[in-house]
C-alpha cells in the first residue's frame, strides 16, 4: 500500500481560496463591474491546485452562477427549443458527449468531439484548436453555430427578454439578469458571462487520486504501479537515454497543479497528413502547428469516451494501445512521440496497471453534483 | 476544511510576487532600465525557429521549439560588484520580440552573467501551484517546462526534426530536455564597451544565442542521428554536455 509522500505539501496549501468579488464584500462596489445587488461567491481552490484567474469584469456571484446554470441547461437557446449546452455535455459522460461528433438540431454533425467540461476555469484557451482565449468567448459559438444550436444571438436574447411579459413563463430572465448584472436588458455578453461563471464553479477535486494525495486513503498496488508508470520516461534505457520503460504520460498530462494537462497543442501521432483538420495551425497560421490539438485533462477520462479530437478511439484500452504503438510519424509529430519506430513496449500487465491508475482520476461526486445538473 | 499557511510559504510568495517581467510603469523609483533583446542565430547568421538549416554533420535540420530559463541575471558594475535581479525569465524563441526588461541602478557596467536554468534553491520542492499564474514557474507559466516536484524544471528544451540525408522529408525527431540541479550553469559575457544606464531611461542590448553551438564545442559534438534524445531527469551525460556547450553559445552587443 502506498501513501502520500510529497514534501511540498505546505507550500501547496498557500493559495486556497480565490475571492470572486472581494472588493464588493469589503467596501461596497467601487468599480463599474461590481454589482451591489449580487452576493459575492468565494470559490474554494482545492489543495495543490493553482489559483484560478477570474476576469475582473466578470466576478463570481451567487446569482450570476445560478443564472448561468439555468442558461447552460436552457433549451430555448437552440433554434427549435430541443437542445441546451448540456445536451452535448452530459453529466454521465463526464460533461462530454459520448458520441464522436455531436449532432446539432438540424441533424448535421460537427467535426470534433465535444470536450469535457471539468476544471475549465484553469484552461488558458478553449476548443481543441485553441481558437477561444476566454470562456466567455468560447460560449458565444455553440448557440449560433449552424451545426449546433443554430440560433442567432439576436433571436436568443429576444427569447430570454420575452419571458418578462409571458404570463406563464417559468423563469423571468430579465429579473434574474437585473439581480446578477444590474441590467434587465439581456445581451449575448451577459449570457456568456453568466454561463462562464457557472462553468468556473465546475471544479473536480475529489477523485480517488485526490483523496490519496490528501492522505485520506491508499491506492491499490496496481493503481500505484500505474501511477509510477505514468510518471516514468518511456523507452528502453539500453537504446534511449533516460528511458525507464515507462508510459511517458506525465510530459503532456503532468500532475503540476493536479491539472493532468499542460494545455499545450500537440500532434500525438494520430495521422501523417492533416488535410481534413489542421488543428491549431488553423488558428495560428503556422504550418508547424498542423495536426496539433490541445492536450485534454485526464480527469474523469474513464467517463469521457470516445477519445481524441475526432473521437476515433472508443476505449481507454485503444488509447493506451495507440501510445504503446508510438503512433504515426509526420513532419509535426510531437517529440514526445519519439518512439514512433517502436512504441513504448508496455506489456499487458503494465497496460492494465496504467488503466487502473487512470480510473483513480474518476470523480463521481463531480458528475452527480446537484449544483451542476439541470435545474429546469 | 481548515488550512494553515506556513511562514515559509508566505516568504516564498512574497519573494515571487516581484518576479516576472517588469513593465516600465512598475519600476519607479528604480533609476534605470536595461532591455536585453533576445536574438537567435545559427552559425552566426540570423535564424528563426521553424526554418530549415543544416547541422554540423550535414543533416537537414529544423528547430521547432527552443525554450530556456534564465535566473538570476546580473550586471557587473565598474567597481566589480555584481548587481542582481531576482527575476526568473522563460525565453521562448518561437515567440518574436521576447525581451528581458530589468531595473538597474544608474551607472556603468562591464559584464553580464546569468544562470542558465533554475537555481537549485527554487528548482525543486516548491509546488508550481504556489506561484501566481503569470509567473514563469507557475503551473500555467511553466507549461511544458516542468517535470516533477523532485526533478524540478526543464532548463532548456531544444526540439525539432531532421532528415538523415538531403532531399528527405524532415520527420526524424530530436528532443533534448536539459535540467536537474547538476545541469545548472552560469554564463558570463564581457561587454566590449561599458553599458551606461541612465536614470529613467531604457538602455538596450542584443543578447544573441547561436543555437548551432548547443550541439558542438571545439572538441566535442552531438550527432542527432545517434543521440536524438535526452530527458536528463535521470542524470545522463548528454544533457550535461549540451548545457556545457550552451555556456559558450552566447554573445552580447550594446545597441
Q: Determine the pLDDT at residue B139.
A: 95
Per-residue pLDDT of chain B (255 residues; tens, 9 = 90+): 333 333 334 334 333 333 443 333 344 445 788 999 999 999 999 999 999 999 999 999 999 999 999 999 999 999 999 998 878 999 999 987 688 999 999 999 999 999 999 999 999 989 999 999 999 999 999 999 998 877 899 999 999 999 999 999 998 889 999 999 999 999 999 999 999 998 888 999 999 999 999 999 988 999 999 988 887 766 568 889 999 999 999 999 999
Q: What pLDDT, on a 0 to 100 scale, did the predictor assign at position A236?
A: 75
Q: Which residues pair with B249 in a beta bridge?
A: none
**Do A124 and A247 belong to one domain?**
no
Looking at the structure, do residues A137 and A166 belong to the same domain, yes or no? yes
* Grid cell of A178 as nine digits: 437585473
Chain A: residue whose CA lies nearest to B50: A288
User: Nearest-CA residue of chain A relative to B51?
Assistant: A288
B223 forms beta bridges with: none
Give the CA count within 13 Å in the CB-facing half-sphere of B171. Answer: 15
Distances (CA, A) of A28 to A19, A34, A43, B81: 14, 8, 19, 50
pLDDT at A53: 96
The verdict on residue A374 lying in a domain is no
B138 interfacial to chain A (CB closer than 8 Å): yes
Report the alpha-carbon distance of residue A174 to residue A191 in Å, rounded: 11
Structure letter (DSSP) for residue A292: B
Q: Do A241 and B8 touch (CB under 8 A)?
A: no
Task: Inspect the interface and report whether the beta carbons of A241 and B13 lie closer than 8 Å.
Answer: no
Chain B interface test: which of A4, A12, A14, A337 (most B C-beta within 10 Å): A14
| Neighbouring C-beta atoms of residue A106, cutoff 10 Å | 12
Report the residue of chain B nearest A244, measured CA to CA.
Answer: B234
Contacts 24+ apart (CB under 8 A), A23-31: A24/A59, A31/A56
Same domain, yes or no: A195 and A214: no
Q: What is the pLDDT of residue A37?
A: 80
Q: Contact B9/A13, CB-based, under 8 Å? A: yes
Point out the domain boundary residue: A151, A177, A203.
Answer: A203
The answer to the question of residue A328 being in a domain is yes
Residue A328 and residue A276 in one domain: yes
Q: Rounded CA gap, A213 and A46, in Å?
A: 11
Domain match, A152 and A249 both: no
Q: Identify whether the C-beta of residue A292 lies closer than 8 Å to the C-beta of residue A266.
A: yes
Q: Does B173 touch chain A (CB under 8 A)?
A: yes
A195 and A52 in a single domain? The answer is: yes
CA distance A171 to A179: 14
B123 burial type by CB count under 10 A (0-12 exposed, 13-18 middle, 19+ buried): buried
Evaluate whether A17 touches A43 at the Cβ level (below 8 Å): yes
Looking at the structure, tell me whether residues A217 and A337 fall in a common domain. yes
pLDDT of residue B236: 60
CATH code for the domain in which residue A160 is found: 1.10.760.10
Q: Write out the DSSP string of B75-93.
A: EEETTSPEEEE---EEEET
Q: With CA atoms as reference, report the closest residue to A203 among A125, A250, A259.
A: A259
The predicted pLDDT at position B237 comes to 82
CB neighbour list of residue A135: distance below 8 Å, 6 or more residues apart: A120, A121, A123, A126, A192, A195, A196, A199, A200
DSSP state letters, B2-32: -----HHHHHHHHHHTT-SPPPGGG-TT--E
Contacting residues of B for A233, CB less than 8 Å apart: 231, 233-234
On chain A, the residues whose CB falls within 8 A of the CB of B147 are 250, 254
Pairing verdict, β B229-231 and B172-179 = parallel
Nearest to A12 among B129, B159, B170 (CB): B129
Option in B6, B13, B159 nearest A10 (CB): B6
Chain A residue with CA closest to B9: the answer is A11
R_g over Cα of chain B: 19
A189 and A253 together in one domain: no
Q: Return the sign of the alpha-carbon dihedral for residues A129, A135, A136, A141.
A: positive
pLDDT at site B234: 60
Report the C-alpha gap between A81 and A159 in whole angstroms. 11
Q: Based on the fold, state whether residues A256 and A329 are members of the same structural domain.
A: yes
CA distance B18 to B27: 11
Q: Which of B233, B111, B129 is nearest to B182 (CA)?
A: B233
Which residue range(s) make up the domain with A39? 17-203
B202 touches B125 (CB < 8 A): no
Residue A1 lies in a domain: no
How many Å apart are CA B7 and CA B4, to the nearest integer? 10
A268 and A181 both lie in a single domain? no
Shortest Cα distance, chain A CAs vs residue B31, angstroms: 32
- A273/A275 Cα distance (integer angstroms): 6
- Residue A195 in grid coordinates: 454561463
- CA neighbor of A374 nearest in space, from A144, A163, A95: A95
Residue A227 is assigned to a structural domain of this protein = yes
Task: Note whether A239 and A180 are same-domain residues.
Answer: no
Q: Do B171 and A329 touch (CB under 8 A)?
A: yes
Indicate whether this model's pTM tops 0.90.
no
Q: Residue A32, class by beta-carbon neighbours within 10 Å (0-12 exposed, 13-18 middle, 19+ buried)?
A: exposed
What is the bridge-based pairing of β-strands B89-92 and A17-19?
unpaired
Low-confidence ranges of chain A (pLDDT < 70): 1-34, 240-241, 338-341
Task: Name the domain count of chain A.
Answer: 2
User: Please, which residues 103-132 of chain B have a Cβ atom closer than 8 Å to chain A?
Assistant: 125-132
Same domain, A191 and A220: no
Angle at A240 between CA A328 and CA B52, to 5 degrees: 55
Residue at A2 is within a domain: no
Backbone angles phi, psi at B206, to 5 degrees: -100, 120
User: How buried is B148 (Cβ within 10 angstroms: 0-12 exposed, 13-18 middle, 19+ buried)?
Assistant: middle
* Cβ(A313)–Cβ(A319) below 8 Å: yes
Amino acid at each position: 500500500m502506498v501513501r502520500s509522500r510529497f514534501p511540498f505539501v505546505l507550500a501547496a496549501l498557500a493559495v486556497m481560496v480565490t475571492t470572486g468579488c472581494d472588493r464588493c464584500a469589503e467596501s461596497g462596489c467601487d468599480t463599474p463591474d461590481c454589482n451591489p445587488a449580487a452576493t459575492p461567491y468565494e470559490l474554494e481552490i482545492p489543495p495543490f491546485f493553482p489559483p484560478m484567474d477570474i476576469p475582473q469584469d466578470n466576478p463570481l456571484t451567487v446569482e450570476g452562477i445560478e443564472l448561468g446554470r439555468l442558461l447552460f441547461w436552457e433549451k430555448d437557446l437552440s433554434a427549435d427549443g430541443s437542445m441546451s449546452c448540456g445536451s452535448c455535455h452530459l453529466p454521465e459522460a463526464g460533461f462530454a458527449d459520448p458520441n464522436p461528433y455531436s449532432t446539432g438540431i438540424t441533424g448535421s454533425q460537427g467535426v470534433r468531439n465535444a470536450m469535457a467540461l471539468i476544471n475549465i476555469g484553469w484552461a488558458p484557451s478553449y476548443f481543441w484548436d485553441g481558437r477561444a482565449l476566454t470562456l466567455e468567448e468560447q460560449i458565444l459559438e455553440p448557440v449560433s453555430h449552424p451545426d449546433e444550436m443554430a440560433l442567432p444571438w439576436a433571436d436568443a436574447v429576444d427569447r430570454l427578454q420575452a419571458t418578462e411579459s409571458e404570463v406563464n413563463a417559468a423563469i423571468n430572465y430579465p429579473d434574474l439578469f437585473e439581480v446578477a448584472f444590474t441590467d434587465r436588458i439581456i445581451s449575448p455578453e451577459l449570457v456568456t458571462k453568466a454561463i462562464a461563471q457557472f462553468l468556473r464553479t465546475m471544479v473536480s477535486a475529489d477523485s480517488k487520486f485526490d483523496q490519496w494525495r490528501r492522505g485520506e486513503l491508499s491506492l491499490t498496488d496496481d493503481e500505484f504501479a500505474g501511477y509510477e508508470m505514468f510518471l516514468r520516461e518511456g523507452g528502453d534505457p539500453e537504446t534511449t537515454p533516460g528511458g525507464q520503460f515507462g508510459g511517458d504520460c506525465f510530459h503532456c498530462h503532468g500532475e503540476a497543479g493536479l491539472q493532468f494537462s499542460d494545455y499545450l497543442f500537440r500532434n500525438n501521432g494520430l495521422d501523417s497528413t492533416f488535410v481534413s483538420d489542421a488543428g491549431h495551425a488553423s488558428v495560428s497560421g503556422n504550418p508547424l502547428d498542423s495536426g496539433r490539438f490541445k492536450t485534454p485533462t485526464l480527469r474523469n477520462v474513464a467517463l469521457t469516451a470516445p477519445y481524441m479530437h475526432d473521437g476515433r478511439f472508443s476505449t481507454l484500452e485503444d488509447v493506451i494501445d495507440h501510445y504503446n504503438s508510438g503512433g504515426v510519424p509526420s513532419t509535426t509529430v510531437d517529440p514526445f512521440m519519439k518512439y514512433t519506430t517502436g512504441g513504448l513496449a508496455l506489456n499487458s500487465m503494465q497496460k492494465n496497471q496504467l488503466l487502473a491508475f487512470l480510473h483513480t482520476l474518476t470523480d463521481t461526486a463531480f458528475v452527480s453534483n446537484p449544483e451542476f445538473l439541470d435545474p429546469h | 476544511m481548515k488550512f494553515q499557511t506556513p511562514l515559509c510559504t508566505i516568504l516564498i510568495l512574497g519573494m515571487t510576487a516581484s518576479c516576472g517581467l517588469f513593465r516600465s510603469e512598475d519600476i519607479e523609483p528604480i533609476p534605470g532600465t536595461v532591455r536585453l533583446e533576445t536574438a537567435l542565430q545559427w552559425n552566426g547568421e540570423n535564424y528563426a525557429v521553424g526554418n530549415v538549416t543544416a547541422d554540423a554533420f550535414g543533416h537537414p535540420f529544423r528547430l521547432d521549439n527552443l525554450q530556456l530559463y534564465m535566473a538570476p541575471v546580473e550586471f557587473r558594475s565598474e567597481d566589480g560588484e555584481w548587481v542582481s535581479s531576482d527575476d526568473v525569465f522563460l525565453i521562448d524563441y518561437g515567440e518574436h520580440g521576447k525581451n528581458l526588461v530589468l531595473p538597474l541602478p544608474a551607472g556603468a557596467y562591464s559584464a553580464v552573467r546569468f544562470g542558465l536554468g533554475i537555481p537549485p534553491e527554487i528548482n525543486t520542492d516548491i509546488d508550481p501551484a504556489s506561484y501566481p499564474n503569470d509567473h514563469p514557474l507557475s503551473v500555467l507559466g511553466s507549461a511544458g517546462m516542468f517535470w516533477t516536484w523532485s526533478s524540478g524544471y526543464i532548463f532548456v528544451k531544444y526540439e525539432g526534426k531532421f532528415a538523415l540525408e538531403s532531399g528527405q522529408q524532415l520527420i526524424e525527431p530530436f528532443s533534448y530536455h536539459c535540467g536537474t540541479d547538476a545541469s545548472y550553469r552560469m554564463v558570463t559575457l564581457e561587454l566590449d564597451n561599458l553599458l551606461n544606464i541612465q536614470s529613467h531611461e531604457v538602455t538596450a542590448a542584443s543578447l544573441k544565442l547561436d543555437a548551432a553551438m548547443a550541439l558542438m564545442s571545439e572538441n566535442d559534438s552531438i550527432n542527432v542521428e545517434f543521440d536524438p534524445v535526452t530527458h536528463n531527469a535521470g542524470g545522463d551525460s548528454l544533457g550535461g554536455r549540451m548545457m556545457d556547450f550552451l555556456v559558450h553559445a552566447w554573445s552580447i552587443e550594446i545597441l
